[in-house]
């Protein structure tokens, strides 16, 4: 997995300069994305994907854990207080617990991820206020061995922000 480097740039002009500098350093365009306030036209710059700009992944993971726990509790309840389920369907209690846990995890993860699409990414919350005031956030996914090089390229732009 490639680390994601985040750089807050003061305006669209600087974002274009930064993207150009990274492209000259042979960083692939698909690995550079930008987040700006909703009404900003980024032009040639690649807009960040839904996964990068929303809370879909974080909420999906949280939903997976919570759903698995609730599914496990439901399975235990069914096994302990509704024993007729295992006898009627001739299902071993471990299989019942496994099915309930997996179903709870999947259902909750999907529901939480769908809900998270509508929320701004909590990992980017520090940048939200400045983005709303016209700044542009650049997210660069690059191999670990090139992260220092990318930081130097962006620092050489001498941003005053």
Q: C-alpha angle 72/93/71, rounded to 5°?
A: 15
Tally of CA atoms within 13 A in the half-sphere of 19 that contains its CB: 23
| Model-wide pTM > 0.75 | no
pLDDT digits (tens, 9 = 90+) for 43-83: 888 888 777 777 677 778 888 899 999 999 998 888 888 87
Tokens of 131: 């983005």
pLDDT digits (tens, 9 = 90+) for 128-154: 888 888 888 888 888 888 888 888 888
């Amino acid at each position: 997995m490639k680390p994601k480097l985040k750089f807050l740039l003061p305006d669209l002009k600087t974002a274009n300069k930064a993207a150009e500098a990274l492209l000259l350093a042979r960083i692939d365009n698909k690995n550079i994305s930008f987040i700006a306030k909703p009404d900003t036209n980024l032009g040639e710059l690649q807009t960040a994907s839904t996964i990068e700009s929303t809370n879909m992944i974080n909420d999906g993971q949280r939903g997976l854990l919570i759903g698995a726990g609730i599914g496990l509790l439901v399975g235990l309840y069914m096994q302990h207080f509704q024993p007729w389920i295992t006898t009627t369907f001739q299902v071993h209690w471990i299989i019942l617990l496994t099915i309930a846990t997996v179903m709870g995890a999947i259902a909750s993860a999907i529901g939480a991820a769908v809900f998270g699409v509508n929320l701004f990414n909590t990992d980017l919350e520090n940048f939200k206020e400045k983005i709303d005031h016209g700044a542009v956030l650049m997210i660069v996914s690059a191999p670990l061995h090139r992260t220092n090089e990318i930081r130097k390229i962006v620092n050489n732009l001498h941003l005053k922000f």
